[in-house]
Amino acid sequence: MGLFDKLKNIVKKKEKEETKEVKVYDKGLEKTRDEFVSKLNILGIKYTKVSEEYFEELEDLLIMADIGVKTVFKFLDRLRKRVKEENITDTKYLNEVIIDELFIIYVEGESLSDKIHEAQSGPTVLLFVGVNGVGKTTTIGKIAHRYKNSGKKVMLIAGDTFRAGAVEQLKQWATKTDSIFYGKENTDPAGVIYDGLVKAKEENVDIVLIDTAGRLQNKVNLMKELEKINKVIKTHIENAPHETLLVIDATTGQNGISQAKAFKEITDITGIVLTKLDGTAKGGIVLAIKEEVNLPVKFVGLGEKSEDLQTFDIENYIYGLFKDMM
């Protein structure tokens, strides 16, 4: 069975399941599906035979979906090779090959785990980084909501101590999600995190979510701050932080990829949280992140509500993106 047939089966399976998660992905990827997939279908109608003009228009379409120029060129090379080797002339069949090859990008090579690494004993510590304005604090609140709903004892620590309103905003999320809170304004972030972790251990907390500053303008200062924070966390809890998650706003497209590259240089990122994926027609950014930054997407934001923040699932993503073509 070829990959396309497997993808077809995934779509059929998901249609039958119709779970809450599947519905969230379906609705959240609507803009990308309407923009990208409908144009791909139109391209197949416009050109009944594979030609150089077809490839040129396909290239534009893939770049518009934010798959990333580097990824697109690599992808088109592979596609041309398959067209030649398999003597493909029919554009309708080529659509199947395109879907095939797009998912080979995500699943091939190094296996990236989208599961959150949890501590075997004591609290699991998740450290959140990212530039201001990407929805970091809101994301932490939504993730707190997820863990609370699964019966975990959650604590939020406000490590973004100098940005006006940041501590208060996180405190409100703690109240909203019935989580424990620790934070102080205008003071050393590492000190706040140190005291917060002491409290987390005293309270036997399961999950600790830590917010940090997002001032990427001065990379050296931020690097030093994150190094200090990491050192403090490690002295308290062995092998922590268990995840360092970079929050990226999907609507910023390739700018988000640049942020991922910059943060990867200054600290050890273990995964990506992609917010506002429902607000863009450029859902292909998921593939660009994998190809260009080689980091797994751990969570995706597919709407305003807390339950619209979902753990990333490649099958649900395939379904949400390509269900109209299967």
Domains of the chain from N-terminus onward: 3-107 (1.20.120.140), 124-313 (3.40.50.300)
Is-contact 211 94, C-beta < 8 A? no
- Rounded to 5 degrees, what angle do the CA atoms 317, 318, 324 make? 115
Q: Show pLDDT as tens, one digit a residue, over the chain (326 residues).
A: 566 677 778 777 877 877 888 899 999 999 998 888 889 889 988 998 999 999 999 999 998 888 888 889 989 999 999 999 999 999 888 988 888 888 787 776 555 567 898 888 889 999 999 998 899 999 999 999 999 999 999 999 999 998 989 999 999 999 999 999 999 999 999 999 999 999 999 999 999 999 999 887 788 899 999 999 999 999 989 899 999 999 999 998 889 999 999 999 999 999 999 999 999 888 888 888 888 888 999 999 999 999 999 999 888 888 888 888 76
**Tokens 């490590």 label which residue?**
159
Q: Helix axis angle, 136-149 relative to 166-176, nearest 10°?
A: 20
Burial environment of residue 228 by CB neighbours within 10 A (0 to 12, 13 to 18, 19 or more): middle
Side-chain-side CA neighbours of residue 134 (13 Å): 32
How far apart (Å, rounded) are the C-alpha atoms in residues 39 and 45?
Answer: 10
